[in-house]
Amino acid sequence: MSELIRVENLKKHFKVRGSLFKTVKAVDGVDFTISQGETLGLVGESGCGKSTLGRTVIRLLEPTSGKILFNGKDVLSLRGEELKQFRRNAQIVFQDPNTSLNPRMTIFEILSEPLFEHNIPVGDPEEYIVKQLESVGLGREHLYRYPHELSGGQKQRIAILRALTLSPSFIVLDEPTSSLDVSVQASILNMLKDIQRERKISYLFISHDIGVVKYMSHRIGVMYLGKIVELGPSDRIFENPLHPYTKFLLSSIPIPDPKYAKTRQRLAIQGEPPSPIDIPKGCRFHPRCPFATEKCRTAEPPLVEVEPGHYVACWLHEKA
């Protein structure tokens, strides 16, 4: 698969209101690539910078520094029509359709607006949108309804369909099922996988649920306090997690078999994540890590490849 997205040393810092010197380092030096037709899952605790990273990659937020390449082009240098074309190719689906869909617009208006904005010829817009609705399990009867007349799952299907309207090659999925019932979550996730197979779209799939991320992703990036601390193939992350934080996350996954659940050793992370305003020196995880050494407290570990395709930022895996 050819490379679609490359992110290098990406940072997004926010100035604290009322302070000249304090800065929230929401994203603080992130590197990754996404190939065409691939899903990169991003997982971590709330507040670790996942959503900020997703929005920065598609320039909904302007980065503080770093580089974003899309099909080899520097996204940060795009202006005017080139930027508009990039926005057509890179879309986002937000967590809550109740806030991302305009309550004053009908479903037809919501889905036809991108077509008119980008001057996409589709013949009869109404018939075109009906076909699109049918592709996600909805129909003509939904065409002139308002968002409040739909169920949560139906609204999220509309939000996904709006992102697909312009035939993008890359979509950021920012916790697209976390506000839905479990049964509805499954149907939405399966639909997203079917769409990816049919259209060869690349996803950045963001979630705090590592089980859902495993189901959706070819590779997984584990994020902690603004940085990716482990990155690798999905199966390898689950079979052989290398970073202590990843091990804690995997230990928190509920097990449906109560007999096996009793025999499993559960790990618990101590304390709360440090503030992104006052990031600890050295490894960011060391205040909560039972394996921390003096080097962990003084020097920040780089993200290095410890086995083919598997990267970790942890001094425990430092090569001699």
What local confidence, expressed as pLDDT, does residue 221 receive? 97
Tell me the per-residue pLDDT of 194-234, one tens digit each, with 9 for 90 and over. 999 999 999 999 998 888 999 999 999 999 999 999 999 99
For residue 201, the enclosing domain spans 3-104+146-317
**Which residues on adjacent β-strands are paired with residue 204?**
40, 172
The reply to whether 134 falls in a domain is no
State pTM to two decimals. Answer: 0.92
Tell me the per-residue pLDDT of 127-185, one tens digit each, with 9 for 90 and over. 999 999 998 889 999 999 999 999 999 999 999 999 999 999 999 999 998 878 888 89
The residue count for the chain:
320
**Half-sphere exposure (Cβ direction) of 101: Cα atoms closer than 13 Å:** 30
What local confidence, expressed as pLDDT, does residue 254 receive? 66
The reply to whether 35 falls in a domain is yes
The reply to whether 117 falls in a domain is no
What local confidence, expressed as pLDDT, does residue 21 receive? 83
Q: How many independent structural domains does the chain possess?
A: 1
- Element spanning 320, H or E: none
- Element spanning 95, H or E: none
CA–CA separation, 63 and 52 (whole Å): 10
What local confidence, expressed as pLDDT, does residue 267 receive? 66
Cβ(152)–Cβ(97) below 8 Å? yes
CATH number at residue 242: 3.40.50.300
pLDDT above 90 as % of the chain = 75
CA–CA separation, 251 and 74 (whole Å): 39
The reply to whether 114 falls in a domain is no
Tell me the per-residue pLDDT of 245-301, one tens digit each, with 9 for 90 and over. 999 988 877 665 555 444 455 666 777 788 889 899 999 999 999 889 999 999 999
